[in-house]
Structure formats: C-alpha cells, structure tokens
Structure 1
Amino acid sequence: MATDGWREIRVGAAALWRRVHPERVPAIEAELVEVREEVLAARETGDSDTERELAKDWQRKLRRLLAEDPELEAELRNILDNLWTPALSADEQVRIHHLVQTATVSDHGRVFQAGRDQYNSGG
C-alpha cells in the first residue's frame, strides 16, 4: 500500500465499504492514510514484521466485510485483480503469487503436487 498506486487502493477500499457500511467510509479512508504512513516507515527501516502485521489487520477487516456481505466477493476479486495488484511493484506482485506446498509421504505413498497444470500418466 505504499506504492504510486495509492489512489487506486483508496478508491477500491472505499467502494467496498460504501456497499456495506457507507457511514464508515471516511473512517476507513483516514485509517488507510495512517496505515500508508506506517508501511512507508516500516519499509524505510526494514521492519517487515510491522508490514506483515498491517497486512494481516487489513485481511481481517476484508474477511469481516465479506462475512457481512458475501456477494461482495466478486467485487473484491475484481478490485484485487484490476486495481490493487497492478498498483504493486513487480517484486510485490511476485510475492503475492508465491505458492508454498508441503507434503508428507510414508511407506509406499505417492504425492503429486502442481502449482498449475499437471499431467500424470501411468504408474
């Protein structure tokens, strides 16, 4: 949230809250300004823990908003894909698309994992 795409981030968040809690939009916008300043300060000092905690806080806010209005999911996906993700730097975009898979196999078990297409033939 500290990139040049700041305007898009604010606009997208306000649009989501406006649908469920229009009376809260000014408070959300003010909080975003504070969070942006915190993110910039955290990045300046290399404080990735603070940055992660701020992101988790907004993830919780968005989850609660979706719980109140599940029909918002399509709009949130659209905002994420078309406003927020493009506003990130290339490094940040890679980070949000990072996939971690873990598997544990014992005895004669087999595991097949794929981040995209997977074709298995035979045994």
Structure 2
Amino acid sequence: MLEEAMTALALTGATTVVAAMATDAWQTTRTGMAVLFRRSGRTQQAAVETQLEGNAALVAQAEDPERARQALIPVWQLQMEALLRRYPDATDDLRALVEEVRAELPRAEQHWVQTNIARDNGRIFASQLGDVIVHEHPDTSQLRPPTPASAPGTGSGQTS
C-alpha cells in the first residue's frame, strides 16, 4: 500500500511538473524541483536542473506541446519514484510543491463542440451545460378555420 501511494504521488508530481513546462509557473517549478533534488547532492541536483531545462525547451519548441508533455511524464515519474524511495522524507515537500505549482498553472480552457442535425421532420433536444427549452409551433398546414356553424356566436338556436 505504501508503494502504491508513493507511485501515485510520483505520477502526480511528474504530471504537475511537466504541465508547468513552457508556462508562467515554470520558474516556481524549476526552483522547487532543484530544492527537492538537493537531497541527492549537488551533482545530481545540477543534472536534474539541466534535464528540466532541456525538457522545458522541448515542450516550448514542440509543434504539439501536449504530445511532448505526455511523452515526458513517465521519465519524471521514474525520477520522482527514485527520489522518494531514497528519501522518504521528501514526500511532504513534493506534495507542497505540487500544490504550489497547481495554484500557478493556467486554468485549462474548456471547449465543447456539439453538432446536431435533424432531417425529415426530425426533432433534436440538446443541451450543453444548460437547460433545454422547447417551443412547439403547430404545423399551420393542418389547421383549418372554424366553420360558421361551429364558430362562437353563430349557428342555429340563436336569435338576434
């Protein structure tokens, strides 16, 4: 169970770090990662900082930055798992870094596309994040005006 929690935290950390690459949250992320990996010694810390900068440059220059980020997540998950195995006391620091970076990340843009096509007198009732309001309009070709005998105020039995 402890191994699962560590793996989940490493994945969360990796996803957060990679999401911050090429965003305004990058400097906070880079600094936090340097502090986190300082436990491994100056040489390892410098190697991690170099790797972070190289990966951030890949994301920034990528034709599809999200694809680049997705490819980098497993690499950083392994790095963080190794760090947490070696230094279990880094768990709280990684959680704090994740929260700090997430607060700085831009909100994901939500974009929905909905295509509805009705044919041959079909009806569509559709909604995205709202209410469905239906207005029925009678088919006027089927309506006939009332006949004089059935119209109010006319017909047999009435006297003037």
Q: Give the structure 2 partner of residue 34 of structure 1.
A: 54
Within the alignment, does 1:72 sit opposite 2:86 as a pair? no
Tell me the percent identity: 29
1:90 is displaced (CA, Å) by 0.6
Highest Rg: 1 or 2? 2
For 1:91 and 1:21, the matched residues in 2 are separated by 36
1:47 is displaced (CA, Å) by 5.3
More helix, by proportion: 1
Cα RMSD after superposing both structures: 2.0
Matches within 5 A, 1:43-122: 45-46=63-64, 48-82=66-100, 84-91=101-108
Q: 1:47 to 1:16 in 2, by over 3 A?
A: closer
Match of 1:6 among 26, 35, 43: 26
Q: Which structure 1 residue ranges, 4+ long, deviate > 3 Å from structure 2?
A: none
For 2:94 and 2:65, the matched residues in 1 are separated by 28
Q: Which amino acid aligns with 2:79?
A: K
TM-score, normalised to structure 2's length? 0.51
Task: Number of aligned residue pairs: give it.
Answer: 90
For 2:66 and 2:31, the matched residues in 1 are separated by 25
- Contact kept? 1:6, 1:87, Cα under 8 Å: no
Q: Which amino acid aligns with 1:9?
A: T
Q: Which amino acid aligns with 1:87?
A: E
TM-score, normalised to structure 1's length? 0.65
Q: Which amino acid aligns with 2:92?
A: A
Q: Which amino acid aligns with 1:77?
A: R
For 1:6 and 1:58, the matched residues in 2 are separated by 15
